[in-house]
Structure 1
Amino acid sequence: MEWGSAAGWAATFIAFLAVNASTIQWLLKRRDEQHERDTGRVDELERQVTELRVNLPLEYVRREDWIRFSGTLDAKLDAMREEMRGEIGEVKDRLYAGRN
């Protein structure tokens, strides 16, 4: 093999390595950019989840709490209705006492 052809093969090999190195560098840069975008998205999602966890107790009532509240409210309304019926009955008796 002559020096000219060896130099040609060496230049071809170096060019091949340079192309591969630049491709690898481009791929790594692209991966880093994608990682930065993903990190930004994850940070935004974490912020939204944190905001949801803060606001959720203000806007949401658990089913068990609502059932307990409505049961208490219903009991109070029933007691008021019975009391009103009793008082209305007394008023009717006084109004219509002499008419029967």
Structure 2
Amino acid sequence: DLLAYPILIPGRALVQNELDNWFGDAYGAVHIIGRYNLIYNAAILVEAGVGVALCLEKLVPVSEETELCFRTLAPALETGVVIAWKKNQIFPPAVAKFIELLKNAFRA
């Protein structure tokens, strides 16, 4: 289904390799029009009708108020995500709370 659309993909080589493997033999027929580092910028291009963007779910607000929608890939393509921060650093309260919420979420 994606072969019919111009596609924006993440700029990271690791992600590009994963997409290459996922598309398999069809990768040569994929119409990649650009690569992005910030999904926010890619989302603006998608809203402007430039193409579609491949991204992780829930990185872009999708609701009835936006013209964006999210569709999962089939077969599913899953990847790991790493969140890192400097050890023993003093953070502003909002950042400290965010890190606390992350830690609690991954303990569950």
Q: Computing the radius of gyration over CA atoms, which structure comes out larger, 1 or 2?
A: 1
TM-score (structure 2 length as normaliser): 0.16
Which is richer in helix? 1
TM-score (structure 1 length as normaliser): 0.17
